[in-house]
Each structure stands twice: as C-alpha cells, then as structure tokens.
Amino acid sequence: MHEMSLAEGILQLIEDSARQQSFARVSTVWLEIGQLAGVEVEAMKFCFDVVTRDSLADGARLEIIALPGTGWCMQCSMTVPMTEVFGECPQCGSHQLHVTGGTEMRVKELEVA
C-alpha cells in the first residue's frame, strides 16, 4: 500500500511547514489528487488518519480535490479527457495518447492554528 508512504510524506511536509511558519496545529488539509495518479482515495484517507495520530495534524480533516485526467491524442490532435493511462481516445479510438494532466498529487492548502 503505497498510500502509507504518501501519507508519511504529507505529514513530513506539514511538519516542515510548521517549523518554517510557526504554527502548532493543523485542522484541515486540502489534497489534490489526479484521476490518473494511481492513488486510492479511501486508502489515502485511512493512511492519513493512521500516520497523523499523536502529531500536530492529529484529527485533521483531509479534503480531497479530484483532478481530471487529460491527454493529447497524437492521431487526431485533440486534448481529450482520460480515465485510464492506457485507454483510447474518445474522439478517434486511437491508443496514441500522451498524458498531459491528472497524474499529480499535491497539498494545496492547510488550515492551521
């Protein structure tokens, strides 16, 4: 379950930010996750809760902002929505797609005290 290591990375980022910006508590974390990022949202929520126990983010709410997958079709030269990395172009049926969005995961915002 790679979501556990991702959650640990998020906590490290929060702790680093707390040291730099002098806050003591995090109440909400907004996390952007792309549809093609390979992150299971429910597993991420579970792992976040486990990893943040007894930390400055203990009990913090994790808000997920889902980002759509997008790609560029080399066959029909269109930007198209994608729901899977190796899918076909919804316009022309080609499999010559280059992923252009939806693979990212980043902390967008923290609500702190």
pTM of the model: 0.87
User: 39 is written with which tokens?
Assistant: 């992150």
CA 10 – CA 106 distance, rounded (Å): 9
| Helical segments of the chain, H only | 2-21, 41-51
Per residue in 90-109, pLDDT (tens digit) is: 999 999 999 999 999 999 99
CA 75 – CA 69 distance, rounded (Å): 18
CA 74 – CA 95 distance, rounded (Å): 9
Domains of the chain from N-terminus onward: 2-69+102-112 (3.30.2320.50)
Q: Do 75 and 96 form a contact (C-beta atoms < 8 A)?
A: yes
Res 1 pLDDT > 80 = no
Per residue in 43-69, pLDDT (tens digit) is: 999 999 999 999 999 999 999 999 999
At which residue do the structure tokens 């992923």 appear?
99
